[in-house]
Amino acid sequence: MGVPSIQDLQKWAEQSQSSEDYKQLMLEMFEAALQWLAERRVNVKWRPLSVSSDMERKSLICLQVRQISVSPAVAPLSDVPKVVQSLYQVTNSIQKQHSAHLRPFAEGEIQFVGYRDTDQDDKLQAMLTLKKSKNIEIGLDQITGLILAFFIGNTSSLTDLGQEYKWCPAGNTMGRTWCGITCITKAVSWSQVSRTSVQLGEPNWNDGTWAMTETKCAAIKRLISIMRSGDKTEFINRLQTLDLAN
């Protein structure tokens, strides 16, 4: 932010539909500005509100995502519509796998906001939320959200169970991911705004994300089992009591 340059002002005057008198007034006013004032500009970076935002509070489940490594396959921000389309496809495929009777998520029921952090080599910082659905058991949609979190933050090696469950929002790529999960919160009930945090995996203190493998987390092992067998009753009970670790 600051006083615009003369070149920028002239471009504005050429393109503006304002009156000639007004444009001339603006040009004269800024041309008369002191040179030191024109050179003192403040670099401003706009970022979406992430922690405890209204978007999170109204969601069924909220995932905070951080890109942890740079890859040549990373998609530009201009491809966000394609990323969102893939996000719907992945989420609905997960839901169909464990609860085929549920209707797919419709437009507007999954939200994705993010930005490239110029201080971190343009790595992606993002938030994903699933909207609360009426007439659907809250635990079923939360299972979908947790499995989606595992897809994004999956650090499994080629020999680990569930290593095939990976999707990267930064690269819009199935089967690989360069992102991790830094935080998960879920709604306590359909009607309340209260939320609780859910830990999925072990903290990785190097980058602030969670290491997600079935060898290090019993909850992930159960989620993989749900994807393969569809047996969800025990896990839903654990979600209600937050007893996911045992």
Band (169; pLDDT cuts 50, 70, 90): very high
Give this prediction's pTM.
0.74
Half-sphere exposure of 227 (CA within 13 A, CB side): 23
Residue range 74-80: mean pLDDT, rounded: 63
Q: Do residues 68 and 207 touch, judged by C-beta distance below 8 A? A: yes
Q: Do residues 216 and 202 touch, judged by C-beta distance below 8 A? A: yes
Q: Report CA dihedral (198, 203, 207, 212) to the nearest 10 degrees.
A: -80
Half-sphere exposure of 78 (CA within 13 A, CB side): 0
Residue 110: beta bridge partners? 130
Across 17-31, 54-68, 110-124, the highest mean pLDDT is recorded for 54-68
